[in-house]
């Protein structure tokens, strides 16, 4: 790694001020993504601010409306094993357990998980290959290159990368809120507004500005969360990023779907909510497979696969179907 200096953040305001003042400063918590990016020379911060000792950010607690509040420094393992999370929103626990390995989950923070960068191989290859996300204006090597793992929704000619987080997909299905500290105060950002599509500025993964620090997540109470499942399809059975993944939650009246929540990973630059399918699923009987498939297809009319990932549109719909069936079996 390049030489850098490291100091311990004293409080949130000082950390936010340091971030806003100097673009060479980056925060480090678990470090499981940042260390790899530094070793590969994708990012080379001059100074790291260690936020692990900031108080009050390592917690899981119920909120007054029956939801859950999770601190940004809470480790993935602690959230995955928490009985409240496992019972109130099993899709969140499952999404975490299907991520990385136990060693990495013991290190990685929830805030850092949301901030991890894409696994597009061109982004992490600094040997001169163009990448607009790493080096704005240089071009996109994946647009007509090796793009089997890339997006089928919402991409632009400037970037076809996908977001790698699993838990962000489950959090999107449940309309979680990201709490962000800045010198101006604390903002509550719905996760649907937190991530962005690449457009002409794919170097920005989300809407955070310099000096913004994620302090926590709020998961509102949702009936669909209690009966939910995270399905991850990948090239090997374990310890791999998703080809496609589905977070599915259902509120049922007997076998009839009262309401559905669906989000996908591995298909877009951000967790992809299947809003049209959710609406079409209302009132459908879980055992009516033809109507289930038809409802799911509503969210795929705007799919735009690339040269090498045409299979994803079909795989994704089958994955949603299977996830719904699994949730139905749990009913």
Partner 1 sequence: MTDVDRRTFLEVTGVGLAYATVVTALPAAASPAPPATKTTVQLTVNGKMRTITVEDRTTLLDALRNQIGLTGTKKGCDRGECGACTVHIDGRRILSCMTLAVMRAGSSITTIEGIARGAVLHPVQKAFVDHDGFQCGFCTSGQIMSSVALLKEARAGWPSAATENVSAPFSYDQLSAAEIRERLSGNLCRCACYPNIVDAVAVAAREG
Other beta carbons within 10 angstroms of residue 324's beta carbon come to: 28
Pick out residues in 249-308 that bind partner 1 (CB under 8 A).
none
H-state helical runs in the chain: 12-21, 34-39, 76-81, 83-88, 90-97, 102-107, 110-115, 167-173, 191-194, 223-226, 275-281, 289-297, 311-330
Query: Are 70 and 92 spatial neighbours (Cβ–Cβ below 8 Å)?
Result: no
Other beta carbons within 10 angstroms of residue 8's beta carbon come to: 12
Bridge partner list, 159: 156
Q: What's the closest the beta carbon of residue 102 comes to partner 1, in angstroms? A: 6
Looking at the Cβ atoms of 104 and 197, the one nearer to partner 1 is 104
Element (H, E) at 249: strand 244-253
Looking at the Cβ atoms of 80 and 159, the one nearer to partner 1 is 80
82 to 111: interface string for partner 1, x by CB under 8 A: -x--xx--x--xx--xx-xxxxx-xx----
Looking at the Cβ atoms of 237 and 301, the one nearer to partner 1 is 237
Pick out residues in 187-246 that bind partner 1 (CB under 8 A).
237-239
14 to 53: interface string for partner 1, x by CB under 8 A: --------------x--xx--xx--xx-------x-x-x-
Helix (H, G, I), strand (E, B) or coil at 70: strand
CA distance 238 to 118: 19
CA distance 292 to 281: 7
Looking at the Cβ atoms of 52 and 135, the one nearer to partner 1 is 52
Work out which of 17, 18, 20, 81 binds partner 1, going by CB under 8 A.
Answer: 81
Q: What's the closest the beta carbon of residue 204 comes to partner 1, in angstroms? A: 25
CA distance 331 to 328: 5
Looking at the Cβ atoms of 77 and 138, the one nearer to partner 1 is 77
Site residues (vs partner 1, CB under 8 A): 1-6, 28, 31-32, 35-36, 39-40, 48, 50, 52, 77, 80-81, 83, 86-87, 90, 93-94, 97-98, 100-104, 106-107, 237-239, 330
């Amino acid at each position: 790694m390049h030489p850098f200096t490291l100091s311990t953040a004293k409080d949130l305001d000082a950390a936010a001020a340091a971030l806003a003042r100097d673009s060479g400063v980056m925060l480090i918590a678990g470090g499981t993504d940042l260390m790899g990016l530094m070793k590969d020379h994708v990012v080379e911060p001059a100074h790291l601010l260690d936020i692990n000792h900031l108080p009050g950010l390592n917690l899981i607690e119920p909120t007054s409306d029956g939801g859950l509040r999770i601190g940004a420094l809470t480790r993935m393992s602690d959230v995955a094993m928490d009985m409240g999370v496992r019972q109130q929103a099993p899709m969140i626990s499952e999404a975490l357990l299907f991520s990385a390995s136990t060693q990495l989950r013991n290190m990685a923070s929830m805030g850092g998980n949301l901030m991890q960068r894409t696994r597009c191989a061109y982004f992490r290859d600094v040997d001169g290959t163009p990448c607009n996300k790493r080096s704005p204006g240089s071009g996109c090597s994946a647009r007509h290159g090796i793009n089997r793992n890339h997006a089928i929704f919402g991409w632009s000619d400037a970037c076809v990368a996908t977001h790698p987080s699993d838990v962000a997909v489950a959090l999107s299905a449940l309309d979680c809120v990201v709490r962000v500290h800045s010198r101006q105060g604390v903002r509550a950002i719905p996760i649907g507004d937190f991530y962005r599509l690449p457009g002409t500025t794919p170097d920005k993964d989300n809407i955070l500005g310099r000096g913004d620090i994620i302090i926590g997540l709020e998961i509102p109470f949702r009936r669909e969360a209690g009966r939910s499942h995270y399905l991850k399809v990948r090239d090997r059975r374990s310890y791999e990023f998703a080809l496609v993944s589905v977070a599915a939650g259902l509120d049922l009246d007997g076998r009839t779907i009262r309401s559905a929540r669906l989000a996908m990973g591995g298909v877009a630059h951000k967790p992809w909510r299947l809003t049209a399918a959710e609406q079409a699923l209302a009132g459908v009987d879980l055992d009516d497979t033809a109507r289930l498939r038809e409802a799911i297809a509503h969210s795929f009319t705007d799919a735009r696969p690339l040269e090498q990932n045409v299979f994803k549109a079909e795989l994704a719909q089958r994955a949603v179907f299977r996830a719904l069936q699994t949730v139905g079996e749990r009913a």
